[in-house]
Chain A
């Protein structure tokens, strides 16, 4: 709801600004277009309807793309880190990276945190049915780690056997104080804290201690310098200033953005969805272009009459452009409203997240693209022979 309101406000402001920025002179050239739209209501309602649908699909796709992207990267984003150090052979994959606690001493940076990653399924004790298992991601961090997410309820883990879970897992029926089992480990783990919604690889992200993580992943706990970890997260030091002092160069540092790009499926899914959105922009231009072109052809004799009256090509063209602009703004505005309403009723399981900046940018692009569609018809107007109107 909060997201809805803030997005809503930004978009409303955007559209208000468009309407306010139209000065009197532009209204003059809109006169003809507006009157025509009032007269041929059905015709123009249909055009607007098409723009609404295209805009709606574009916004929904953008929301889905954003939601999916968030689902993949949220857990990394909330570290608020600049860089991550992984083993050289891992090729930017956290899962494939294997380091030991001793490597922490070879990384020279102010705030560095060891990290272990695990993926598995969780189920509440007493519910061993396959259907009740929920897939999760799990990060193991040191007891007082600064990359632990903020708590909304309960406390942080203080001993092994304790975990903190995100709100999106609570939504699936696991509560504070519940005992759960993760993976094949037989030990019962206790939920001691709840964090706000958090995901990694599109599944809820649980945090626990490094020791507990080791036990989950390897079935045993190794202590000291040889204790395994997956990576080292560096929080404040810029990537370029991190010094790696190793004999065999087995450590590599990456900027967090670079690391996120390489998260499994992340760039592929973004590319696919964004490509669909870009295609929609092209389709919008084509649809509006064709509509306006056909309507322009129908109006040939009218343009002839107007030219006989001495109304210039310039005025006629301006009025067509103004008309497509109005159609675009109305269509996109309705599309935005529909999207915001849909956002309210979508089930939380759907990874849908609206980004107001994106929404505004896409709105602007769609309106520009609609106007470009109208531009196709300019040639037709300038080539209309007023003789035809007179029937001579």
Chain B
């Protein structure tokens, strides 16, 4: 089986001369469909840089990224944003929801951008599968942290991406809800065959992962 995400010798440096910082020092990683990978590391270890490069929000200084066999590194901003829209679902620390849209409209927006018909049934199914169907008409500000992250997961899954990137999805949650969110991520990865990478600083969250890496000083070490 091919890798959904393939990162080859990724390096990222910031600044020049004495101020030069090497955030990533040659990272190699392959993630297959249905694989749930956790990356743990303290803050400042380069894990956010790693995730944003994997998602194409930043370009690496050197190295190649392939997503679903497609070269992601050398695309222009417009094409990268298109590929991100189609292939990658981002789940962010706090939430990646748009504050002035109801839960339902977070999804209609996606359909409108794609100029498709509004798939009300699919939205309902997706929300039901995550146990949040009753939140459909609420605004993000009226949701609890756990609910918000679940909606964010649903939103990330809605485009049917092949890759899910989660940046500290449990950071703002209490332990109980944090476990719940990680369990959902793992379940979706396995059931829907999504390649999933979760970046976290919390070692308790790795329980459901297929593979665990530790990132330290810009280097990726398999646990």
What is the minimal beta-carbon distance from B171 to any residue of chain A, in angstroms? 10
**Chain A residues, Cβ within 8 Å of B84:** 308-310
**Chain B residues, Cβ within 8 Å of A310:** 81-86, 88, 159
Contact status of A35 and B105, CB under 8 A, knowing A311-B113, A387-B57, A390-B167:
yes
Contact of B81 among A36, A38, A307 (CB under 8 A): A307
**Chain B residues, Cβ within 8 Å of A305:** 92, 96-98
Q: Find residues 100-150 in chain B having any chain A CB closer than 8 Å to their own CB.
A: 100-101, 105, 108-109, 112-113, 115, 139
B28 at the interface (CB under 8 A from A): no
What is the minimal beta-carbon distance from A199 to any residue of chain B, in angstroms? 54
**Chain A residues, Cβ within 8 Å of B51:** 390, 392
Contact of A308 among B83, B96, B108 (CB under 8 A): B96
**Once bound together, how far apart are the Cα atoms of A307 and B52, in whole Å?**
12
Q: Are A309 and B167 in contact (CB under 8 A)?
A: no
Q: Are A308 and B92 in contact (CB under 8 A)?
A: yes
Contact of A392 among B52, B77, B101 (CB under 8 A): B52
**Chain A residues, Cβ within 8 Å of B155:** 309
Contact status of A391 and B93, CB under 8 A, knowing A32-B109, A310-B81, A311-B113:
yes
- Contact size range, B: 35 or more
Q: Find residues 21-76 in chain A having any chain B CB closer than 8 Å to their own CB.
A: 25, 28, 31-32, 35-36, 38-40
Q: Which of A306, A307, A308 has the most CB of B within 10 A?
A: A308
What is the minimal beta-carbon distance from B186 to any residue of chain A, in angstroms? 22
B58 at the interface (CB under 8 A from A): yes
Q: Which of A32, A305, A309 has the most CB of B within 10 A?
A: A309
Chain A residue nearest in CB terms to B77: A313
**Chain B residues, Cβ within 8 Å of A307:** 57, 81
- Contact size range, A: 20 to 34
B209 at the interface (CB under 8 A from A): no
Contact status of A390 and B88, CB under 8 A, knowing A302-B98, A302-B99, A308-B57:
no
**Once bound together, how far apart are the Cα atoms of A307 and B97, in whole Å?**
12
B48 at the interface (CB under 8 A from A): yes
Q: Are B92 and A312 in contact (CB under 8 A)?
A: no
Q: Are B58 and A312 in contact (CB under 8 A)?
A: no
Q: Are A391 and B48 in contact (CB under 8 A)?
A: yes
Contact of B48 among A32, A35, A392 (CB under 8 A): A392
**Chain A residues, Cβ within 8 Å of B159:** 310
B49 at the interface (CB under 8 A from A): yes
Q: Which of A302, A310, A311, A312 has the most CB of B within 10 A?
A: A310
**Once bound together, how far apart are the Cα atoms of A313 and B85, in whole Å?**
12
B222 at the interface (CB under 8 A from A): no
Contact of B98 among A38, A306, A315, A390 (CB under 8 A): A306
**Once bound together, how far apart are the Cα atoms of A28 and B116, in whole Å?**
10
**Once bound together, how far apart are the Cα atoms of A306 and B167, in whole Å?**
15
A389 at the interface (CB under 8 A from B): yes
Q: Are A387 and B52 in contact (CB under 8 A)?
A: yes
Q: Are B113 and A36 in contact (CB under 8 A)?
A: no
**Chain A residues, Cβ within 8 Å of B49:** 392
A183 at the interface (CB under 8 A from B): no
What is the minimal beta-carbon distance from B169 to any residue of chain A, in angstroms? 12
What is the minimal beta-carbon distance from A58 to any residue of chain B, in angstroms? 31
B90 at the interface (CB under 8 A from A): yes
A386 at the interface (CB under 8 A from B): yes
Contact status of A386 and B57, CB under 8 A, knowing A39-B139, A391-B48:
yes
What is the minimal beta-carbon distance from A392 to any residue of chain B, in angstroms? 3
Chain B residue nearest in CB terms to A382: B77
**Once bound together, how far apart are the Cα atoms of A315 and B109, in whole Å?**
11
What is the minimal beta-carbon distance from B139 to any residue of chain A, in angstroms? 7
Q: Are B82 and A35 in contact (CB under 8 A)?
A: no
What is the minimal beta-carbon distance from B26 to any residue of chain A, in angstroms? 20
Contact status of A313 and B81, CB under 8 A, knowing A32-B109, A308-B90, A392-B51:
yes
Contact of A390 among B57, B77, B97 (CB under 8 A): B57
**Chain B residues, Cβ within 8 Å of A39:** 99-101, 139
**Chain B residues, Cβ within 8 Å of A389:** 92, 96
B55 at the interface (CB under 8 A from A): yes
Contact of B85 among A32, A36, A311, A392 (CB under 8 A): A311
B20 at the interface (CB under 8 A from A): no
B interface footprint on A371-392 (CB within 8 Å = 1, 0 otherwise): 0000000000000001101111
Q: Are A312 and B98 in contact (CB under 8 A)?
A: no
**Chain A residues, Cβ within 8 Å of B58:** 387
Chain A interface (Cβ < 8 Å from any Cβ of B): 25, 28, 31-32, 35-36, 38-40, 302, 305-315, 386-387, 389-392
User: Could you name 30 residue pairs across A and B whose Cβ atoms are closer than 8 Å?
Assistant: A25-B115, A28-B113, A28-B115, A31-B108, A32-B98, A32-B109, A38-B100, A39-B139, A302-B98, A305-B92, A306-B98, A307-B81, A309-B85, A310-B81, A310-B84, A310-B85, A311-B81, A311-B85, A311-B113, A312-B85, A314-B78, A387-B52, A389-B92, A390-B57, A390-B167, A391-B93, A391-B94, A392-B51, A392-B52, A392-B167
Which 4 A-B pairs rank lowest in CB-CB distance, beginning with the nearest?
A: A310-B85, A392-B48, A39-B100, A310-B84
